[in-house]
Amino acid sequence: MKNIKCIAKERKYLKVFFLFLIVLTGFYSCLAFGDSTQTLSGIAGNVLASFKPMAKLITGGSFLMGLGFALGAILGFKKHKDMPHQHPVGTPIALLFVAVALLFLPVIFGGAGKEFVGGNATGISGTYII
């Protein structure tokens, strides 16, 4: 039987080999299929462009979840009105705060993006991303 230290040492070398293979494959794909005239700012623009659909998904999901939480708050207020001893008023109030936070999330994203990146940034659209 092999010693445990030998097995761990072999695994370490195997991990290093696979990491080297991955890096080598990445360099080869960049050299073979990449555009050699692209600058660092072009790469940064491509990365920013790839995040736009994800930002639209997050803001659209926040709108839908905000509307759902608002509907839950309205129904919670109705339950509290019908049976105040069984349904406390704190739950619909908390749902209402969460709904307002989710509905204003795109505005916060737009303002934060303009603040961190700058007002003339090409990757940031207006106050609403969608």
Q: What is the pLDDT of residue 123?
A: 47
Position 66 scores a pLDDT of 94
Identify residue 71 by its one-letter amino acid code.
Answer: L
Mean pLDDT for back-to-back runs of 10 residues, the chain (130 residues): 56 73 65 59 72 82 93 94 91 94 84 67 48
- pLDDT at residue 18 in the model: 73
Greatest C-alpha distance within the chain: 74
The whole-model pTM stands at: 0.54
Q: For the chain, give every domain's residue range.
A: 1-34, 47-130
Are the C-beta atoms of 71 and 102 separated by less than 8 Å?
Answer: no
Query: What local confidence, expressed as pLDDT, does residue 38 receive?
Result: 65
Concatenated DSSP letters of 16-52: HHHHHHHHHHHHHHHHHHS-TT--HHHHHHHHHHHHH
Q: Within 10 A of 82 (CB to CB), how many other CB atoms are there?
A: 9
